[in-house]
């Protein structure tokens, strides 16, 4: 089984200050429950079920079928015509001020974005606009409008910009949980400056992390959709569409030296960020104060787990909200604030967005006991808070 590096929910904690244990110690001692914990009678947590895919919907013009076997759509032309007006070119210029106040453009980068709100709001990748001193958006009708940055989040590589045009053609945001591996997807973007290029393929995989896409900032938040629809330099920030013409992902990364292996940020992650970015312009992240790992085969057996769901606590940071709540090594986190915790990546994401100072209810398994306990989150301190100190994606990983 593929080895998993420990995911640091608290991020960047010293190994010397965290309480740790030896795997040779055997099964955990259940002991008592943390103060204030509420025992759950059932051993299986009563949390919301995992999302189930939506039934197939008519595409445009619609996949044909003989019996139960769907065939390839006759054409993606109608989808491309409908979506193309909402796809834009992002132009990021770096200017320098010369003696006498003269300004000179030092460099110019091209990326892709898409309109998601008629009021002029455009989504793209943070890495498309982060170095620019002047941002502009070129629409499908070739008008180029100046853009202002509304909000951006480097760890998730998402940015929102605004143009002064309230009559744009927005793309609908879909449900990235509902799309299945093997489903058709369409990418529209500006690879190598070739504007409004359409490519099609299938969804190749889901849940790809920085362990799968080498070279990304390990402190970032990645849960990529993988596709074989052609994505190249300049596609960054463009939409990945399902057959209903809905955006299911933002194209963000490629595997260097590979053929048609591209990665997109799931749109459901983006929808969780949008209210924060529109309200505050950035995301101030929170933390539990834990180091967690997946529940692999050996740990599932040792911990008495019937499946691999959850986040296994390897260590607890002294003085953290997790320690004050009584969480301990070998506990398995099953739920966070009413949401199921499928794996450590999901816990890391939920904890980071919950809010500094917020108290949440967590569902935890300790031995054979399942209980709910309240935990207060603190501010996340990490190199990503400092733009100069945060690591960046290598250029080859940025389409």
pLDDT, tens only, 72-129: 677 999 999 999 999 999 999 988 777 777 777 777 889 999 999 999 999 999 999 9
- Residue 127 appears among annotated catalytic residues: yes
Alpha-carbon gap, residue 225 to 191, rounded angstroms = 19
Cβ contacts of 283 within 8 Å, gap of 6 or more: 153, 155, 156, 273, 276, 277, 352, 353
**Percentage of residues of the chain with pLDDT beyond 70:** 80
Q: Which residues of 132-170 are buried (b: 16+ CB within 10 A; e: fewer)?
A: beebbbbbbeeeebebebbbbbbbbbbbbbbbeeeebeb
Which of 92, 136, 157, 176 is the catalytic position? Answer: 157
Q: Which long-range contacts (CB under 8 A, 24 or more apart) does 63-72 make?
A: 63/184, 63/243, 72/184
* 29 — pLDDT class (breaks 50, 70, 90): low
Read off the DSSP letter of residue 150: E
3-state DSSP assignment of residue 78? helix
326 compared with 40, residue with greater pLDDT: 326
Tokens of 20: 């740790």
Tokens of 228: 């074989």
CATH classification (class only), 172-267+389-397 = mainly beta
Is it true that the peptide bond before 363 is cis, omega within 30 degrees of 0?
Answer: no
CATH, range 33-50+289-376: 2.30.42.10
The structural domains of the chain, with segments of one domain joined by +, span 33-50+289-376, 172-267+389-397
Tokens of 50: 């995992």
Q: Which residues pair with 110 in a beta bridge?
A: 91
Q: Are 335 and 341 in contact (CB under 8 A)?
A: yes
pLDDT of amino acid 392? 36
pLDDT, tens only, 209-268: 877 777 777 778 889 999 999 988 889 999 999 999 999 999 998 877 777 899 999 999
The per-residue pLDDT of the chain, averaged, comes to: 83
- For the chain, the C-alpha Rg in angstroms (whole number) is 23
Q: Angle at Cα 28 formed by Cα 27 and Cα 34, nearest 5°?
A: 160
Cβ contacts of 358 within 8 Å, gap of 6 or more: 286, 376, 377
Which of 127, 176, 320, 330 is the catalytic position? Answer: 127
**Percentage of residues of the chain with pLDDT beyond 90:** 59
Cβ contacts of 345 within 8 Å, gap of 6 or more: 7, 207, 209, 221, 222, 223
Domains 33-50+289-376 and 172-267+389-397 share a fold: no
- Residue 157 appears among annotated catalytic residues: yes
- The closest alpha carbon to 162, from 137, 144, 139, 138, belongs to 137
Which of 199, 236, 320, 378 is the catalytic position? Answer: 236
| Residue whose structure tokens are 């048609």 | 260
Lowest mean pLDDT among 152-161, 261-270, 304-313: 304-313
- Residue 236 appears among annotated catalytic residues: yes
Q: Are 163 and 113 in contact (CB under 8 A)?
A: no
Most confident of 22-36, 164-178, 198-212, 257-271: 164-178
Q: Which residues pair with 251 in a beta bridge?
A: 264
pLDDT, tens only, 369-386: 999 999 999 999 764 433
């Amino acid at each position: 089984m593929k080895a998993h590096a420990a995911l640091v929910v608290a991020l960047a904690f010293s190994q010397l200050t965290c309480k740790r244990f030896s795997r040779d110690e055997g099964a955990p001692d259940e002991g008592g429950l943390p103060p204030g914990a509420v025992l759950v009678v059932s051993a299986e947590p009563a949390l919301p079920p995992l999302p189930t895919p939506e039934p197939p919907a008519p595409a445009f013009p619609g996949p044909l079928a003989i019996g139960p076997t769907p065939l390839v759509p006759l054409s993606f032309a109608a989808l491309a015509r409908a979506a193309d007006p909402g796809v834009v070119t992002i132009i990021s210029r770096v200017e320098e001020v010369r003696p006498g106040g003269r300004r000179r453009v030092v460099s110019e980068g091209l990326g892709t974005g898409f309109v998601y709100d008629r009021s002029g709001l455009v989504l793209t990748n943070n890495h498309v606009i982060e170095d620019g001193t002047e941002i502009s958006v070129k629409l499908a009708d070739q008008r180029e409008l100046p853009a202002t940055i509304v909000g951006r989040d480097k760890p998730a590589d998402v940015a929102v910009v605004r143009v002064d045009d309230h009559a744009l053609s927005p793309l609908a945001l879909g449900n990235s949980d509902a799309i299945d591996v093997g489903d058709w997807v369409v990418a529209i973007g500006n690879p190598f400056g070739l504007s409004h290029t359409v490519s099609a393929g299938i969804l190749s995989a889901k849940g790809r992390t920085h362990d799968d896409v080498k070279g990304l900032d390990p402190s970032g938040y990645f849960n990529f959709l993988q596709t074989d629809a052609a994505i190249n330099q300049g596609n960054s920030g463009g939409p990945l569409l399902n057959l209903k013409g809905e955006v299911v992902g933002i194209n963000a990364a490629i595997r260097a030296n590979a053929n048609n292996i591209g990665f997109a940020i799931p749109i459901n992650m983006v929808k969780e960020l949008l209210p924060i970015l529109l309200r505050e312009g950035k995301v101030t992240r929170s933390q539990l104060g834990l180091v967690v790992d997946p529940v692999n085969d050996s740990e599932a057996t040792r911990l008495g787990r019937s499946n691999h769901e959850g986040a296994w606590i390897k260590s607890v940071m002294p003085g953290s909200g997790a320690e004050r709540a009584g969480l301990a090594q070998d506990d398995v986190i099953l739920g966070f604030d009413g949401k199921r915790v499928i794996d450590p990546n999901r816990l890391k994401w939920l904890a980071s967005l919950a809010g500094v100072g917020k108290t949440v209810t967590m569902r935890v398994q300790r031995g054979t006991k399942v209980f709910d306990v309240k935990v207060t989150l603190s501010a996340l301190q990490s190199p990503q808070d400092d733009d100069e100190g945060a690591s960046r994606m290598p250029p080859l990983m940025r389409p």
